């Protein structure tokens, strides 16, 4: 098998496309180019991908994404994941979303969502119907459950590496790990080890806001968002039928929160869940192949968030977990933080420093959900 972590001394230096960054956004651009027959190189400063792309849920979220381009890109990305995952040896661990609306005002939001084009194919279940399909849900106070078949989940910790290896072995993508890009002046790319050349360059550097093209990024009023997540071990035999969300998601995901019906729910939650909202908490639960649950998350913003998790934030997340699922046991086995760039005005930033260069950042934490769709849009406009 190809050792993609090792750059041979005979590695080529001229390409059709150089991608800077081996996170999911960079890999999506590499795949999109390689599938068009282009010769591609991916340059990554770390020895492996260890950033936001492996620290998230692996949740390819379609339902609830903002109306318009983000939702469209998510739908397309899910289709690409369906195609790529089996070829790359990436397991789809579960499909579908169950969003439990516990409050009458939350039910009003999901009813409004069902009337939009984004609700196509979704179902609004009564608590009794949801209990038959998903007995692990805690539905004593539920008003309704939104079920969507459109969403899927992979294990992000392993999926990114498997995707990179498949791109190298199946599509001939050259990877240069442990190599910082110091300068991009397309067609010339200067790294810490070599000078490379390409007709086009896609810069997908996620949280590196003060490096390449920092002057262009500074004008976008970006900040960093840090989230806290946990891995929880439930009792033996516990099985989720799909990904799970709750009321707080309805005032965070733009596909719901931008509906007029979301404003009264937000006012109620500001009264009842002010601390959770202050920490940007909304519940997402997914399950891994070993039965453990990945649970999150919170959102704290700043120019340089401190890399220290807060125990009381984890406690709030775990409370929402216990309120939503029938858990007899919930033992935390791991905790971590992730960071991504965030914009208050857009979900994705695509910039053209020149005709041959594109700067692409997902600024909403939706990289796994939208990256393949974004890459196709970048190439369509290129």
What is the reported pLDDT for 349?
96
Percent of the chain with pLDDT over 90: 91
Mean pLDDT, rounded, for 123-136: 97
**Which has the closest alpha carbon to 191: 66, 335, 21, 356?**
21
Mean pLDDT, rounded, for 282-288: 97
Q: Please tell me the pTM assigned to this model.
A: 0.95
What is the reported pLDDT for 1?
41
- Interval 22-57: pLDDT, tens: 999 999 999 999 999 999 999 999 998 888 888 888
* DSSP secondary structure of 248-312: GGGGTSHHHHTSTTHHHHHHHHHHHSHHHHHTT---EEEE-TTS-EEEE---EEESS--S---HH
Grouping H, G, I as helix, E, B as strand and the rest as coil, residue 210 is: coil
Grouping H, G, I as helix, E, B as strand and the rest as coil, residue 353 is: strand
Distance (Å, whole) CA 178 – CA 106: 47
- Interval 68-79: pLDDT, tens: 999 999 999 999
| Average pLDDT score over the chain | 95
What is the reported pLDDT for 350?
97
What is the reported pLDDT for 51?
83
Distance (Å, whole) CA 163 – CA 167: 6
CA torsion 202-213-181-340 (nearest 10°) is -80
């Amino acid at each position: 098998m190809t050792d993609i972590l090792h750059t041979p001394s005979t590695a080529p230096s001229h390409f059709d496309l150089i991608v800077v960054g081996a996170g999911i956004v960079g890999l999506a651009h590499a795949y999109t180019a390689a599938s068009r027959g282009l010769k591609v190189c991916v340059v990554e400063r770390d020895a492996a991908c260890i950033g936001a792309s492996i620290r998230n849920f692996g949740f390819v979220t379609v339902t609830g994404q903002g109306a318009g381009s983000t939702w469209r890109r998510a739908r397309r990305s899910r289709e690409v994941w369906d195609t790529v995952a089996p070829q790359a040896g990436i397991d789809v661990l579960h499909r579908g979303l169950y969003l439990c609306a516990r409050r009458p005002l939350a039910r009003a939001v999901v009813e409004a969502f069902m009337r939009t084009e984004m609700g196509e194919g979704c179902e609004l279940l009564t608590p009794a119907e949801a209990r038959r399909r998903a007995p692990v849900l805690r539905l004593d106070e539920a008003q309704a459950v939104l079920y969507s078949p459109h969403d899927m989940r992979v294990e992000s910790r392993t999926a990114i590496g498997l995707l990179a290896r498949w791109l190298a072995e199946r599509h001939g993508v050259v990877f240069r790990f442990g190599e910082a890009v110091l300068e991009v002046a397309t067609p010339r790319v200067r790294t810490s080890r070599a000078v490379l050349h390409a007709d086009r360059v896609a810069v997908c550097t996620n949280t590196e806001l003060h490096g390449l093209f920092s002057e262009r990024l500074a004008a976008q009023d970006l900040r960093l968002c840090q989230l806290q997540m946990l891995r929880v071990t439930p009792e033996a035999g516990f099985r989720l039928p799909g990904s799970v969300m709750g009321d707080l998601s309805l005032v965070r995901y733009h596909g719901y929160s931008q509906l007029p019906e979301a404003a009264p729910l937000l006012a109620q939650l500001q009264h009842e869940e002010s601390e959770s909202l202050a920490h940007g908490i909304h519940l997402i639960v997914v399950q891994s192949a070993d039965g453990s649950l990945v649970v999150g998350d919170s959102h704290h913003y700043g120019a340089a968030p401190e890399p220290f998790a807060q125990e009381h934030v984890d406690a709030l997340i775990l409370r929402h977990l216990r309120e939503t699922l029938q858990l007899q046991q919930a033992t935390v086995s791991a905790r971590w933080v992730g960071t991504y760039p965030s914009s208050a005005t857009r979900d994705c930033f695509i910039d053209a420093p020149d005709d041959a260069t594109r700067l692409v950042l997902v600024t909403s934490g939706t990289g796994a959900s939208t990256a393949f769709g974004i890459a196709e849009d970048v190439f369509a406009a290129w």
